[in-house]
A and B are shown apart, each in its own frame.
Chain A
């Protein structure tokens, strides 16, 4: 028996070390005179990862003494891992993420201000604003996050439905599907943050126009949600669109819901432009479009929620700060933006880059809709962070599956206020 064990283990070790590609890299920053820049990000899509890889390889080809060490972490783990690294003084040189989502780390002085860097002049004004805190720019977004209702054009035609531009029309569309026994939405509500993402798609457009400081005032404890009647108004509409028949939403994660939508089992899915690549690879012959979530009866109000996405920041404590910043400038340059558009298949933020012909029709259409003023930047809406954000997300997650909560929205908001207050007092 012992012999077998020894032989077995030896075979495993030898076999796996033979097949294991990639040497066990050194953790040290420099080896044989080369500088290693570490990047930590949470991009999930294969296309985006390839884009980042190509950006790094291109940079290395220009600066042969710089190499990269890329670490991908799932979104759900990202904040935790970043925090441990900061606590232990082990911060990566380049950090993926929007400065405002990691306000704590920016305020504590762990992120480098990037004012005056060359990429900024090519960035649209709204993104400059979105990437800054207290008047300083801390990050660069690589592309647009555009949120709206993705829909199956063929199914809309089949049911004789036109794209709704007002709230009332939207409800009519939902009623039509309901009457035809067709579940209207594919929803990825297995993920705790998905119902909030869904709600935000319309609510943050509302906030951006009417009450951009709502969450800040709540975070400082000055006000409560009950002080903002708009919240209940919008939540009521949200609950209404949740009330239509659905799949086993809590059991389906993002990919499963996307498969359902791609396969034509549901005509609509509220999501962001980042799904385009996966959607088209699941159903290359599909005919899809995207319209802004109609929350108002005034068509002008109904716009896509637009934000910067795939942002990058530089760590203040980085030993190779100058190179990291130079890399960021490269990423934001016309050359970098072209690489990103080409590989990641997303609309780049650099104003001097024009969408090329090979872009999927869906993205081209989105891009031209944006140019026609269909987008609304929610950059001025500062969201909750830390525990309050988790409480808010969890509350919405619980709400979408509970008839009791849905039927008593006042009670729901009151409890949410209580929980937020006690979290803020911790």
Chain B
């Protein structure tokens, strides 16, 4: 019995390794194309490159104005993630702790409004931002992106807050602690896993945002990485190797962050989603 289960575990492991390799195959394509010359791509396609043309990367950095786009992406992603997470846990805390008609309705309203497609709001939104002087600005993008992520994050966090015990807060309140003190010093530490998840998941969403950036950040100097990728590819698809080098460059920062924090993603997503 024991031998058999060990055996089957091994077989499963082997199968899963193969599956994982298949899933990761597109990354191979992306890498190989990025270090070949264009002629090599035409003639040898997917074969492992004989000579690595790392110069493609320096060229892609230069041509796509990579660091500018990276800078734009970071200065938009960081505040968005902080705003969304802070506002969401505050609101989710209130919603989870008050089982009243009003807050339940608010919750349902937020859940319902998640379905609004960006297409339905983009034109009026664009005109508003123009009137408020927020087009092509970091503030404009941050606020719109935060608005679009807040409902879904509240949803994620509310489920988690409900699983956090109530007693500690009560005790602190009876001891005379103020409301913000209770929240920030007692509740927030208990929410650590979901806070981290929210930070990371929202960072992924914001970093990769395309639709909102396409409408709001039109000027060259304001473009974020996904926009740069899109425009760079449309304009330079003739230089496939450079296009792929640019793709890989824009993936790397996020992949690094992901690989460092991956264990929190797993913890947080699950606790929020399943219990909610």
CB of A107 within 8 A of chain B?
A: no
Q: Which of A86-94, A114-122, A123-131, A393-401 contacts B (4 or more CB under 8 A)?
A: A86-94
Closest to B264 in A: A1
Is B235 close to A, CB under 8 A?
yes
Task: Pick the residue among A8, A15, A20, A259 that contacts B257 (CB under 8 A).
Answer: A8
- Bound Cα distance A74, B264 (Å): 39
| C-alpha spacing A5/B264, complex, angstroms | 13
Q: Is the C-beta of A21 less than 8 angstroms from some C-beta in chain B?
A: yes
Identify A72's interface contact among B68, B123, B220, B256, CB under 8 A: B220
Contact residues, B246-276 vs A (CB, 8 A): 253, 256-257, 260-261, 264
Report Cα–Cα, A173/B214, bound state, in Å: 46
How many A residues face the partner with a CB closer than 8 A? Answer: 43
How far is it, in angstroms, between the C-alpha of A90 and the C-alpha of B219 when the chains are bound?
A: 12
Contacting residue for A9 out of B74, B123, B130, CB 8 A: B74
A265 to B: closest C-beta gap in Å: 9
Bound Cα distance from A84 to B136, whole angstroms: 13
Q: Does B238 contact A (CB under 8 A)?
A: yes
Choose, from A22-30, A174-182, A318-326, the stretch at the interface: A22-30
B186 CB within 8 Å of chain A:
no
Q: In chain A, what residue has the closest Cβ to B135?
A: A90
Cα distance, A283 to B185, chains bound together (Å) = 68
Tell me if B65 is interfacial: C-beta within 8 Å of chain A.
yes
Interface residues of A in 55-98 (CB under 8 A from B): 69-74, 76-77, 81, 84-85, 87-90
Residue A154 lies at the interface, judged by CB distance under 8 Å to chain B: no
| A258 interface residue per 8 A CB criterion | yes
Q: Is the CB of A84 within 8 A of B257?
A: no
A44 within 8 A of B: yes
Tell me the bound Cα distance from A74 to B218 in angstroms: 12
Query: Complex formed: what's the CA distance from A12 to B253 in Å?
Result: 9
Once the chains bind, are B74 and A72 in contact (CB under 8 Å)? no
Q: What is the distance, in angstroms, from B108's C-beta to the closest C-beta of chain A?
A: 33
Q: Is the interface of A mostly helix, strand, loop or mixed?
A: helix
Q: In the complex, are the beta carbons of B78 and A88 less than 8 A apart? A: no
Closest approach, in angstroms, between the C-beta of B139 and any C-beta of chain A?
Answer: 13
Q: Find the B residue at minimum CB distance from A4.
A: B260
Whether A84 contacts B215 by the Cβ 8 Å rule is yes
Chain A residues lying within 8 Å of B31, measured Cβ to Cβ, are none
Q: Which of A27, A70, A90, A255 lies in contact with B237, CB distance below 8 A? A: A255
**In the complex, chain A residues whose CB is within 8 Å of the CB of B218:** 71, 73, 81, 84-85
Contacts of A4 in B (CB 8 A): 260
Report yes or no: A27 in contact with B219, Cβ–Cβ below 8 A: yes
Contact across chains for A20 and B71 when beta carbons are under 8 A apart: yes
Check B237–A20 contact: CB distance below 8 A. no
From 96 to 144 in chain A, residues with beta carbon under 8 angstroms from any chain B beta carbon are: none
Q: How many residues of B contact A (CB 8 A)?
A: 36
Is A390 close to B, CB under 8 A? no
**Chain A positions within 8 Å of B220 at CB level:** 70-72
Judged by a CB distance under 8 angstroms, whether B221 is at the interface is: yes
Closest B-chain residue to A19, C-beta based?
Answer: B67
Q: Report B-chain residues with C-beta under 8 Å of the C-beta of A81.
A: 218
Known: A13-B75, A84-B215, A255-B237. A22 touches B68 (CB 8 A): yes
Q: What are the interface flags for B163-206 relative to A under an 8 Å C-beta threshold, 1 for contact and 0 otherwise?
A: 00000000000000000000000000000000000000000000
Which of these, A9, A74, A259, contacts B234 with CB under 8 Å? A74
On whether the beta carbons of A20 and B74 are closer than 8 Å, the reply is: no
Q: Is A196 an interface residue (CB 8 A)?
A: no
Is A422 positioned at the interface, with any CB of B under 8 Å from its CB? no
- Determine if A263 and B135 form an interchain contact, defined as CB atoms under 8 angstroms apart: no
Contact across chains for B67 and A255 when beta carbons are under 8 A apart = no
Checking A18, A71, A88, A263 against B130 with a beta-carbon cut-off of 8 angstroms, the contacting residue is A88
Contacts of B221 in A (CB 8 A): 22, 24-25
Chain A residue with minimal CB distance to B231?
A: A74
9 A-B pairs with the lowest CB-CB distances in the bound complex, closest first: A19-B67, A74-B234, A255-B238, A88-B130, A16-B71, A20-B68, A16-B70, A20-B71, A20-B67
Q: Contacts A8-B257, A20-B70, A21-B67 given; 17 further ones with Cβ under 8 A?
A: A5-B260, A5-B261, A8-B260, A9-B78, A13-B71, A16-B70, A19-B67, A22-B68, A25-B219, A74-B230, A74-B234, A88-B126, A88-B127, A89-B130, A253-B237, A259-B238, A282-B238
13 CB-based A-B contacts, threshold 8 Å: A1-B261, A1-B264, A8-B257, A9-B74, A21-B67, A24-B221, A44-B235, A72-B220, A74-B235, A77-B214, A84-B215, A88-B130, A253-B237
